[in-house]
Amino acid sequence: MGVFVYLPLVLPLTALPVARLAAHHLHPRSATRLLTAVGTTLALCSTLCLALLMVVGTAQLPGNPLPDGWSDPEVRAALPYEDRTGLPAIGVLGVVVAGCAATLVRHVRTRVAAARALEASGPVDEHGVSVVDSPTPYAYALPAGPGRAGRTTRPGGTDGPGRAGGTGRVVVSTGLLGRLEPPEQQALFAHERAHLAGRHHRSLLLTQLAARANPFLIPLRTAVAYSTERWADEEAARAVGSRRVVARAVGKAALGPARPPVEGPAAFAAGGPVPRRVAALLDAAPPTRFWPPASAHLLLAALTATAGTTASALSSVNATVALVRILHAATPL
């Protein structure tokens, strides 16, 4: 294993430049997909190497359940430095697992609470929109749960097919609708439908788990939270045909509390700095092409992130193969 087992723990640092530049030079759709893929891969490699170090540390514990040959001094000699970091890796991996489990539990609870609040709020129309009678201005996208795909609730209370039912529903309060003009309301609905169509809740969840697995990936989580909002903004601007209308809707929604009583996976005007989103909407539309990059700095950052991700994957595979071979040789038949 050698030093290769440690590389995936620090190689997420190579993704920090692209996390910063992607939001400025890439279309939000491309930025979201790129950063989600890079962050997830780096987090998996980092966690795998922690698990390999944990195996070494477990083999050093008295009365460990592993074969006696796995804690043989010759095995330890073949794994330089791991004898010093194996035991701490057990605690670190425990923290990672506990953090990821807490994130998943919170995500499930949020989905369940939002679904229950939606059921109590009234029917969902044929367009997949539920209007909640509340003075608090908020809106969010609620992805479809198991068994609900492709269904919406008609005003009469019966289920039927609907355009938005295949991916989820849009929840909006009367307090927010009252402060928006009709074109801005259409921009709001288009924004939330874009969250559902792009399944942004999955990207957000993956990057949250990645940040739990390795703190170096926290900037990627922040960048994806912003890029998903920008992606939805761009889709809304394309749907209503006016970037200024979407900018006004975002600005008006941000004047009051943006967090609903039961927070959904993505709340309107709650993701990312609102002034940056408004400024981007008042500017020209971002380029849709992914290659070639629009900036030399972005090209260099993308190559650095790609090299770091590739090196992390290769290091993880190398360390895994090396440990398996050593432990297999030390295990009596």
Domain ranges in the chain are 2-330
Summarize the confidence of residues 7-11 as an average pLDDT: 91
Q: What is the pLDDT of residue 275?
A: 87
128 compared with 207, residue with greater pLDDT: 207
* Percentage with pLDDT > 90 across the chain: 38
Using DSSP, state whether 169 is helix, strand or coil: strand
Summarize the confidence of residues 220-233 as an average pLDDT: 92
Structure tokens at 35: 């950063």
Of 234, 235, 209, whose CA–CA distance to 220 is shortest?
209
Q: Is the pLDDT of residue 12 over 90?
A: yes
Lowest mean pLDDT among 77-91, 128-142, 297-311: 77-91
* Cα atoms in the Cβ-side hemisphere of radius 13 Å centred on 88: 5
Cα distance between the two ends of the chain: 23
**Beta strand segments in the chain, E:** 129-132, 139-143, 152-153, 159-160, 168-173, 266-267
Q: What is the pLDDT of residue 266?
A: 44
Cα–Cα dist 125/317, whole Å: 51
Q: Residues 252-262: pLDDT tens digits?
A: 887 765 455 55
Summarize the confidence of residues 324-330 as an average pLDDT: 71
Strands 168-173 and 129-132: parallel
Lowest mean pLDDT among 168-182, 235-249, 316-330: 316-330
Lowest mean pLDDT among 8-22, 41-55, 187-201, 260-274: 260-274
Strands 266-267 and 139-143: antiparallel
Summarize the confidence of residues 316-322 as an average pLDDT: 85
Q: What is the pLDDT of residue 2?
A: 66
Give helix 218-240 / helix 274-282 axis angle, nearest 10°: 40
211 compared with 175, residue with greater pLDDT: 211
Lowest mean pLDDT among 1-10, 145-154, 241-250: 145-154
Q: What is the pLDDT of residue 43?
A: 95
Alpha carbon separation from 226 to 20, 94, 138, 259, 266 (Å, rounded) = 11, 30, 18, 16, 11
Structure tokens at 186: 């259409």
Q: Residues 141-155: pLDDT tens digits?
A: 888 765 444 444 343
Of 198, 191, 193, 221, whose CA–CA distance to 36 is shortest?
221
Out of 89-103, 115-129, 133-147, give the one with best mean pLDDT: 89-103
Confidence label for 214 from pLDDT (cuts 50, 70 and 90): very high
Give 136's contacts (C-beta < 8 A, 6+ positions apart): 173, 175, 256, 257, 260, 261
Q: What is the pLDDT of residue 163?
A: 45
Out of 14-18, 81-85, 117-121, give the one with best mean pLDDT: 14-18
* Percentage with pLDDT > 70 across the chain: 73
* Cα atoms in the Cβ-side hemisphere of radius 13 Å centred on 247: 14
Give me the long-range contacts of 159-164 (CB less than 8 A, separation at least 24). 160/126, 162/124, 162/126, 162/127, 162/128, 163/126, 163/127, 163/128, 164/127, 164/128, 164/129, 164/193, 164/196
Helices (H), 126-242: 174-177, 182-197, 200-213, 218-240
261 compared with 172, residue with greater pLDDT: 172
C-beta separation of 5 from 51 below 8 A: no
49 compared with 87, residue with greater pLDDT: 49
Q: What is the pLDDT of residue 161?
A: 37
Q: What is the pLDDT of residue 289?
A: 74
Confidence label for 219 from pLDDT (cuts 50, 70 and 90): very high
Q: What is the pLDDT of residue 246?
A: 94
CB neighbourhood size of 214 (10 A): 24
Q: What is the pLDDT of residue 33?
A: 94
Summarize the confidence of residues 54-76 as an average pLDDT: 64
